[in-house]
Structure 1
Amino acid sequence: MTQKHTPAAALEEFEKRQAMAQGMGAAEKLRRRQEAGRMDARARLDRLFDAGSFSEVGLFAYSGEDPAQTPADGKIAGYGRIGGREAAAVSNDFTVMGASSTIVNGRKIGHMKRVAAQRGLPLVFLGESSGARIPDTMGATGMGASGSDPAQYMRLRETPWAAAILGPCFGSSSWYTCLSDFKVMRRGALLSVSSAQLVRQATGASVEAEELGGWRLHSESTGLVDLVVDTDEEAIDAIRRFLSYLPSHAGEAAPRQAVPAGSGEDMDRILDLLPANRTQVYDMKKVLRAVVDKDSFFELKPGFGKTGITALARIGGHSVGLIASNPLQRGGALQIEACQKIASFIVLCDSFNIPLVNFADVPGFAIGLDAELKAAPARIMNYMSALQMATVPKLTVIVRKLYGQAYLNMGGGRNSDEVAAWPTGEIGFMAPAAAVTVVHGIGPGDAGFEEKIEAFERETSPWAMAGQFSVQEVLRPGDTRDYLIRMLEVHQLRATGGVGQRLLRAWPCYL
């Protein structure tokens, strides 16, 4: 046995290669990141996983001739525990050739996806990458080898995926982010198909990077991003919080948690949140926070489709998906963007066995040319189809008005398992004042207008709906939390262990 093949030499070689791979890119790059307040790929994993639980996969992978040039091939992968539950993650190491994509690190991602799906592990992507590595992927040979997995971008939502946009995200980072169930973005990070520089080269158009793929674009215009934060730490903490509401995999019920002290303590004053004048706006989020378990309200996409509210929360320890109108924005008339946001949220909840709870105060859908240019009828029907296909428990509380097609979209007409109304509820095809004008051709100030409004208002009361059992309960507002806790217990999916039919699991990620 030669000296270089002795056990001692082999161990020395192991330690040398291990140190090299764990050292990531150049020390100078790591120092600059630290000075700029940016976490490196390994520090991000340390933040994501419970202390001491990370087990790395593919540490010794590399591309090219020299492993020292591409330690771990720019993508650090492995397993760890998040809140005590096993999970998988891929963290892009931008200090190694911009975390660019290769055949080798693509295999690492593929491995993590397979294991996560087969073993029931949530999968987290910590994104920051420059796209495909050139010249590795140039030419027919490189392209042919890179397309070897026909299911590379197929989602059946076997387990939850979460992604953080923590720097420039092009190529695989953008694709896997868009496929994820939860997307959080740090201000200053970017997500787009390609960089502003490449756009200029390809089209001649000059565009700023922030305009092309910044946080404001994706949180307010495209709706791709669920949450915007200021730091890497906040982004990773948000992923941990998101996953706490979801099961580890689609084959189990969402987790239960202890009810915090002080939950429901404002219920006896909840009606005070509604103005005496029924045409005056108010903050529906205050109503929701009063009903749910203390500090459990976790809103998604707050800057997109603002007339609608989508949030994860807990009620009596149960994970729930809240859908509500937002009267502070356009009186709560649902924008097309809100329909898109709500449909996507229903898909998330149905795919992972989370009951849906609607709080309705909706005068209808936003109408006009802008809405029609955004395919309003199709968006409204996408929303409606998602609701009707969802097989998780569905509950609806009518807080105030609920008119027209929005009555069905918000869970009325047997589109919920239970529908309850507050005494303040109003249900009809349109607002009474508008109905009087349409039916009788008279308006405010005309003789008989007020009397006819009163007649229509009697017909829109919750008592009329309760009388024909179109709502199952008229609730004292202060009893809403107790009612929902009870109905969540009643409507548990006992026969299937809390697992629905998951008819929406293959719904496109952004439609």
Structure 2
Amino acid sequence: MPDTTNPDNKPAPKDWTPELDELHLREEMTGGMGGPDKVARQHAGGRLTVRERVGKLLDPGSFREIGRLTGVGQYDENGRLVHLLPNNSVMGRGQVNGRPVVISGDDFTVRGGSADATNKSKALYPEEMARDLRIPIIRLIEGSGGGGSVKTIETKGHANLPGGQGQSFGSEQLMINMGEIPTVGLGLGSVAGLGAARLAATHFSVMVKEQSAMFVAGPPVVKGIGEDLTKQELGGWQIQLPAGGVDNAAENEEDAFEQARQFLSYMPNSIDELPPRTECADPVDRREEKLFSLVPRDIRKVYKMRKIIELVADQNSFFEIAPLFGRSVIAGLARFDGWPVVLLASDPFHYGGVWTSDACQKVVRMVDLAETFHLPVVYLCDCPGFQVGLEAERNATIRHGVRAMAAIEQTTTPWCSVIVRSAFGVAGGAHAPSSRFHYRFAWLSARWGSLPLSGGIEAAYRAELDAAEDEAAKLAEINERLEKLRSPFRTAETFAIEEMVDPRETRPLLCEFTNMVAPTLRPGRARMWMRP
């Protein structure tokens, strides 16, 4: 038989130079991605290529690519390689701020980011690598990332049955990793199908304004059901952020990369470690005079809760998550004396701080994040209860609210509540887990009860008011009497609130809390961990 490895019958080389030359040739071919025209189209759309993204996100020189030679080769009649079209997934190991990560990215210049359904093992590999190396994974997503395009049916000769043995593209590993390692998803273009699922199945997700869009199915598909929409109208950031489909929006790709770095700075490498403490130059005994008068005496007036967060947390440490979803609750990550925490806070600017259906879902997500990665929780509470009315009932607010309460009760992570103003009703009572020890402080402006007095006096004292000669004067008399009884100091007499504090002492107290509970944190798998 002829030697097909040496069709020109050249003398055998004395070393491995030909193989090295072929390695370099194949690397050069795959480095060209989908070709100069496709790369130019990517840039014309204002988007970086996947390799440029990896280079900008990771620490310089830290990327170690895996599977670069994977692709579909074209050969001439003599068996010589003519062209190697790379697999549309670029992945490997690298570092972010000196810490190891796994990174995977869709190459939109190859088949528009749609997987070819033949190299599913490469899509699964980074997920398994991150899980077993116990380090975070960052997904750069642009495309469908699923079982191939419509044309795949023709090239394979049959259709894929989603799920089932041998048909998985890693969706089950996405769910497993939610309870094992920090996962970050960056939607950097159009994201659909399994690509959208990969973005949603993360602890933190970002999309780029006016560039990214996420949907179950894109405009051509939904046009078939009578909805003629652009990508942005169907799944742009102004749709997905208020809906809670994606957490944050970025001004550009560089901003998205920076948000990913910030999020990971609060996270441990895996559930087997504790969140890292950072150096803190902000004095723990810092007392802010502004806190003493920030909450107005008139309960009808609002105030800026984010200003309170700014004044009590380590300077510039608050990293907000999902600011446009469930807006009556502010949520994110912060540090106190360098210790990272999950921070929740009421926002009286939205529905007066009541818990809406969306706000309850947001609370569940953040509480589960805290439990998964051993982060203490700090809650600045000003909650007058659940949202009421027809909209609240249509959104199943009470079911989502009870789910949030269950999530809080199921936590084991340390918890500290500061009642800034209101804590009324069932939702107001959910400011801390009631079945175990927690730290709790109340500001001088705090007020609480089963329900607010306003509106309730007329019903509770109807007979007395009807019998009065001057109903308005009687109402004022009853209100004054009840206001005195409702004083938080009366509650403190019974130890139903542990401590009433000067608002200016809040930062020292929260720093004391984080330092006190730090030795009690334990790594390992949480009893209840975060789900998408």
Of the three residues 52, 59, 82, the one matched with 1:50 is: 59
Cα distance change of structure 1 residues 474 and 143 upon mapping to structure 2, 3 Å threshold: same
Instruction: Return the TM-score normalized by structure 2.
Output: 0.89
CA deviations 1:304-351 (Å, max 9, x no partner) are 111111111111101111111101112112211111111111111111
Matched, 1:345 2:366: yes
Q: How many Å apart are 1:371 and its aligned residue?
A: 0.9
**Contact 1:190/1:214 (8 A) holds in 2:** yes
Larger CA Rg, structure 1 vs 2: 2
CA distance in 1 between counterparts of 2:125 and 2:202 reads 17
Aligned residue in 2 for 1:407: 428
Matched, 1:194 2:217: yes
Task: Name the SS for the 2:101 alignment partner.
Answer: strand
Aligned residue in 1 for 2:343: 322
Task: Name the SS for the 1:396 alignment partner.
Answer: strand
Percent identity between the two aligned chains: 28
Matched, 1:33 2:42: yes
**Contact 1:171/1:193 (8 A) holds in 2:** yes
Equivalent AA in structure 2 for residue 362 of structure 1: C
**Contact 2:330/2:346 (8 A) holds in 1:** yes
Q: How many Å apart are 1:455 and its aligned residue?
A: 2.9
Matched, 1:101 2:115: yes
Of the three residues 501, 505, 516, the one matched with 1:479 is: 505
Cα distance change of structure 1 residues 487 and 107 upon mapping to structure 2, 3 Å threshold: same
Aligned residue in 1 for 2:3: none
Matched, 1:490 2:511: no
Aligned residue in 2 for 1:179: 201
Instruction: Return the TM-score normalized by structure 1.
Output: 0.92
Aligned residue in 1 for 2:352: 331
**Contact 1:75/1:105 (8 A) holds in 2:** no
Cα distance change of structure 1 residues 448 and 30 upon mapping to structure 2, 3 Å threshold: same
Equivalent AA in structure 2 for residue 103 of structure 1: A
Aligned residue in 1 for 2:446: 425
Aligned residue in 1 for 2:395: 374
Aligned residue in 1 for 2:309: 288
> Which 5+ residue runs of structure 2 have no aligned equivalent?
1-5, 76-80
Task: Name the SS for the 2:175 alignment partner.
Answer: coil
Task: Name the SS for the 1:174 alignment partner.
Answer: helix
Q: Summarize the alignment of residues 82-481 of structure 1 with structure 2, pairs less than 5 Å apart.
A: 82-130=96-144, 132-137=148-153, 140=158, 142-143=160-161, 145-147=166-168, 151-155=172-176, 156-188=178-210, 189-200=212-223, 202-220=224-242, 222-261=243-282, 267-411=288-432, 413=434, 417-441=438-462, 442=465, 446-481=472-507
Task: Please report the RMSD computed on the Cα atoms of aligned residues, expressed in angstroms.
Answer: 2.4
CA distance in 2 between counterparts of 1:83 and 1:148 reads 30
Of the three residues 65, 90, 94, the one matched with 1:76 is: 90
Matched, 1:508 2:527: no
**Contact 1:50/1:80 (8 A) holds in 2:** yes
Task: Name the SS for the 1:446 alignment partner.
Answer: helix
CA distance in 2 between counterparts of 1:123 and 1:350 reads 19
CA distance in 1 between counterparts of 2:415 and 2:259 reads 26
Cα distance change of structure 1 residues 473 and 306 upon mapping to structure 2, 3 Å threshold: same
Cα distance change of structure 1 residues 90 and 476 upon mapping to structure 2, 3 Å threshold: same
CA deviations 1:395-437 (Å, max 9, x no partner) are 1000111101123222274566111101111121111223322
Task: Name the SS for the 1:499 alignment partner.
Answer: coil
Aligned residue in 1 for 2:78: none
**Contact 1:309/1:324 (8 A) holds in 2:** yes
Q: How many Å apart are 1:47 and its aligned residue?
A: 1.6
CA distance in 2 between counterparts of 1:262 and 1:71 reads 57
Task: Name the SS for the 1:328 alignment partner.
Answer: coil
Task: Count residues in correspondence.
Answer: 504
CA distance in 1 between counterparts of 2:84 and 2:239 reads 33
Q: How many Å apart are 1:297 and its aligned residue?
A: 1.1
Task: Name the SS for the 1:103 alignment partner.
Answer: coil
Task: Name the SS for the 1:154 alignment partner.
Answer: helix
CA deviations 1:234-262 (Å, max 9, x no partner) are 11111111111111101111110111447
> Which 5+ residue runs of structure 1 have no aligned equivalent?
none
**Contact 2:134/2:181 (8 A) holds in 1:** yes
